[in-house]
Structure 1
Amino acid sequence: MARIQLSTITYGLLATAGVIAAATPAMAKKQSASGPVVQMSESFRASAHAADAAIKAGDAASAQGRIAALMPSSDFEAYVAAGLRFEVAVLRQDYQAQRIALTDMFKTSSVPKKDAPRLRYIAGYLSYVVGNNADALAQLDYAKTLGYDGIDATLLRADIYLRKNKPKEARPYVQEALARQRASGQPIPAAWYDRAISMAYAAGDWSEVGSLYRERLSLYGSAGEWRSALANYLTAPGMDSQVQLDLYRLQAANGAMASERDYQAYAQFAEKAGNHAEAKAIIEAGRAAGKLTSTQAATATLMKSVTPKAAKQIAALPAAAKKAASAKDGSAALAVADDYFSLSQFPQAVAQYRLALSKGGVDQGRANTRLGIALARSGDLPGGKAALAQVSGNWANVAGFWTVWIDQQSRKVAERPAISSPAS
């Protein structure tokens, strides 16, 4: 829901102490600096001032009694009385009464022109709060014709359509709000991203889901945020198992492995890819973290299967690398690179990915993605980012997620205090 701080919106109401105090017996009628004609009798001014003082003291009951006794005899006095009723309603958090008070204010001709657009937006917000969606939209339209078209109004329109169970109509307003906030240079609140992601998710727009999650993670990048983003994105239909594997690797790199399911799924994807040593290492890490137990059936069976295969995989690597060097294309080198990658032997993986790319005949997206990751994991963050920037097609989203990770690591490096050498 779009939100405003109702205790602060009375800045535009002339029914506050500034105007009330200004109306002295010597000024029966005077044009105020804000526009409306200030015309109050001495008795009305005194009663209004007393009501205003009670409001400022937080005494709603006393203020209500004083306001009820007011007998407005001019347009401006009617405006002031409605403004005071509004402020009492704010004090009592009575939204219906606030909305009625605003209607009474609009019936007068004393609403300052500079405040009218914002007040019409507030009227729309209050109508939304009390469940009058039709009037809420009407007030927002009116506010827009008067020149008020803030991002808060855009989000409120989205909320109204969501309440009307029209997510397709709501989504463009959320997208517009995010675009306008980006253009303003101001950070986008996490809740805005969550709303937009939910809508993109419901619409099956996985490209936007990924894009929004990456943007969100660039601002809100805790381990918990990473786990939530990747866990949700991994539910995308038809995702390649190799892509899924690299997303689980990213989750682990962020320290975001938080459950039995995380470790078990990662180990299963690694085993499916033929990375037996990696599957073994993940199960061991899950047990060390207390998320897996040695008696758990699924991972115990998997552990028994991959342990002997892991030893064979490692032993076969030198011969496989030698064979890849003389192969006619890069497919053998890509397989060797993937093996080194799975063993976290990243410098060796980098050399093999480069060999695979130079020979050709391989999936460029997969090779460049893993080359970029391996470079970054080896400590070459700029080189890793450059390699990932070349990725397109099915691997673009996973490359994008890893790019966010690289940017975060780069910021951490930049923030480290310089170590000065001891004086000689």
Structure 2
Amino acid sequence: MLKSGLFAIAVAAATSTPALAKKPAASGPVIVMSESFRAAAQAADSAIKAGDANTAQAQISGLMPVSDFEAYTAAGLRFELAVLKRNFQAQRIALTDMFKTASVPKKDAPRLRYVAGYLSYVVGNYDDALAQLDYAKTLGYDATDATMLRADIYLRKNKARDARPFVQEALARQRASGQAVSAAWYDRAISLAYAAGDWGEVGSLYRERLTHYGSAGEWRSALANYLSAPGIDTQVQLDLYRLQAANGAMASERDYQGYAQLAEKAGNYAEAKAIIEAGRSSGKLTTTQAATASLMKSVTPKAAKEIAALPAAAKKAAGAKDGSAALAVADSYFSLSQFPQAAEQYRLALSKGGIDHGKANARLGIALARSGDLAGAKAALAQVSGNWANVAGFWSVWVDQQSRKTAFQPVGISPAS
């Protein structure tokens, strides 16, 4: 938190002021220092800068301050030595000694009180940490890092409910400032929302996090955690597994098995078969694994029948009085990765009505995205509300990522003939 050099005003004065000089610093304390003290302080400062802790310790131990400024300088040097040694307890004690003097520059006092709060937090004195942060705030230090530190203190005190508003405030302030939010801050906020059972915020925070940190591993972590939400619809789960696969984020036997089982449960036998085959190709599933071997045996003949029945089902859906049959046909095309045909049927279902518009628009958006119509996908996903809103939200993040990749693709130029 604190780097060597924070007390440069004291050190500079100690190493350059003539003996018994007495004058106000440009923006700080009155400097009163003897020649012998100045020489010892200079030697200690040089040793610290050289990384020689033993020599610095010997010089600092010999300091005998007689003025307020000398006491401030000696405490500052003890702090610098403690920073060199990475001794947080000694840093905190040195700060207390500095606060006992009247020579702490007013412009530094607010930040120093915040640092005192941080160091008290590090050494486990949480009540003092909060008191120091309160003091810093009265002096005008109310930066976002102080807000997040309050949250961390309450977490250490096992008061997650008290911590959560501070994390939310810190994120809001960071966003408003235009500065990037660190992955660690998102993770804290997600953890607290998860503990509170606020799955709407869990989903929202994960989506925001993925817009900034969108590797395959981060997609898997986000979706796997969100899939643990209680009472989540199996069809919603299926589309989240599809998103995980689209991101190349299928990383374990559990991923492939869970996806295949959901697809089979939805009657998407060809999709279940394809997922098991993909899992085996990746080495995450084996042919001897009992659960998926049994599932593969069951879905293989059903997959062939599913595909063969699709043309007749599509013809029947066209003449149906509502969109239920077209929606079912669209889902079948979707499960077969025949996305243009799926999109056509989703539009038909929506035009006929009598269906779950949230589901139809969500899957229309996904089908368009997988077909390459990213603008159309975004528009369809924006229409989704209700139980399918989170699915649409996650897929919208994926669409945005694909749009950025497309925007940055180099344009091929044919060589001059």
Please classify the TM superposition score into its range, dividing by the shorter chain length.
over 0.9
Q: CA deviation at 1:41?
A: 1.6
Q: Which one of the candidate residues 69, 90, 101 is aligned to 1:97?
A: 90
Alignment-derived partner of residue 11 in structure 1: 6
Deviation of 1:46 (Å) = 1.3
Alpha-carbon shift at residue 13 of structure 1 (Å): 4.8
AA at the equivalent of 2:400? D
1:52 aligned residue: 45
The answer on 1:256 being equivalent to 2:252 is: no
2:353 paired with 1:357: no
CA drift at 1:22: 3.2
For residue 21 of structure 1, report the CA deviation from its aligned partner.
3.0
What is the CA-CA distance between 1:402 and the residue it aligns to? Answer: 0.4
> What secondary structure sits across from 1:15 in the alignment?
helix
Task: For 1:305-324, list aligned pairs within 5 A.
Answer: 305-324=298-317
Q: Does 1:126 align with 2:122?
A: no
Is 1:70 aligned to 2:66, yes or no?
no
For residues 299-345 of structure 1, what are the alpha-carbon distances to aligned partners after superposition, in whole Å with 9 as ceiling and x for unaligned? 11111111111111111111111111111110110000000000000
4+ residue runs of structure 1 moved beyond 6 angstroms? none
Cα deviation for residue 423 of structure 1 reads 2.9
Unaligned runs of 5+ in 1: none
TM (norm. structure 2) is 0.98
Q: Distance in 1 between matches of 2:415 and 2:94?
A: 72
What is the distance in 1 between the residues matched to 2:90 and 2:371?
A: 64
Q: Is residue 7–residue 76 contact of structure 2 (8 Å, CA) maintained in 1? A: no
Partners of 2:53 and 2:84 within 8 A in 1: yes
SS at match of 1:11: coil
| C-alpha distance after superposition, 1:123-182 (max 9, x if no partner) | 111111111111111100000000001111111111111111110001111111111111
Matched letter for residue 15 of structure 1: A
Deviations 1:77-100 (A, max 9, x none): 111111111111111111111111
SS at 2:10's partner residue? Answer: coil
Number of positions where the alignment pairs a residue of Structure 1 with one of Structure 2: 417
Residue 136 of structure 1 is aligned with which of 129, 134, 158?
129
Equivalents in 2 of 1:61, 1:126: separation in Å? 23
Q: Whole-Å Cα distance in 2 between the matches of residues 406 and 12 of structure 1?
A: 50
Contact 1:369 1:395 in 2 (8 A): yes
| Secondary structure, counterpart of 1:35 in structure 2 | coil
Q: Is residue 195 of structure 1 aligned with residue 195 of structure 2?
A: no
User: Aligned pair 1:377/2:370, yes or no?
Assistant: yes
Q: CA deviation at 1:7?
A: 2.8
For 1:54, the aligned partner's letter is: A
SS of equivalent residue, structure 1 residue 7: coil
Matches within 5 A, 1:261-410: 261-410=254-403
Match of 1:247 in 2: 240
- Within the candidate set 218, 234, 237, 2:211 is matched to 218
Contact 2:15 2:41 in 1 (8 A): no
Separation (CA, whole Å) in 1 of partners of 2:21 and 2:294:
92
User: Residues of 2 paired with 1:58 and 1:290: CA distance?
Assistant: 52
Contact 1:54–1:62 (CA under 8 A) maintained in structure 2: yes
State the SS of the aligned residue for 1:39.
Answer: strand
Q: Match of 1:14, as an amino acid?
A: I
Separation of aligned partners in 1, 2:210 and 2:230: 22
Question: Does the residue aligned with 1:348 lie in a helix, a strand or coil?
Answer: helix
Note if 1:20 corresponds to 2:14: yes
The answer to whether the 8 A contact 1:12-1:115 is kept is: no
| CA drift at 1:20 | 2.1
Letter of the aligned partner of 1:140 in structure 2? L
Contact 1:14 1:83 in 2 (8 A): no
| Aligned partners of 1:243 and 1:398 also within 8 Å | yes
Counterparts of 2:193 and 2:41, CA distance in 1: 52
Distance 2:344 2:416 in 1: 40
Alignment of 1:106-185 (within 5 A): 106-185=99-178
**Residue 141 of structure 2: SS of its match in structure 1?**
coil
- Output the amino acid matched with 1:29: K
Q: What do the CA deviations read for 1:333-367 (whole angstroms, capped 9, x no partner)?
A: 00000000000000000110000001100101100
Answer with 310-319 or 234-243: which moved more: 310-319
Contact 1:7 1:91 in 2 (8 A): no
Per-residue CA deviation, residues 265-301 of structure 1 (Å, 9 max, x unaligned), is 1011001111111111111111111111122111111
Helix, strand or coil for the counterpart of 1:209?
A: helix
- What is the alpha-carbon distance in structure 2 between the residues aligned to residue 70 and residue 352 of structure 1? 85
Question: Given the two structures, how large is their TM-score scaled by the length of structure 1?
Answer: 0.96
Distance 1:423 1:348 in 2: 40
- Alpha-carbon distance in structure 2 between the residues aligned to 1:232 and 1:144: 37
How much is the aligned-residue C-alpha RMSD, in angstroms?
Answer: 1.2
The CA distance in 2 between the partners of 1:11 and 1:58, in whole Å, is 16
Q: Is the 8 A contact 2:339 2:370 kept in 1?
A: yes
Q: Among the aligned pairs, what percent are the same residue?
A: 80
Task: Choose 390-399 or 42-51, whichever is displaced more.
Answer: 42-51
| Corresponding position of 1:38 | 31
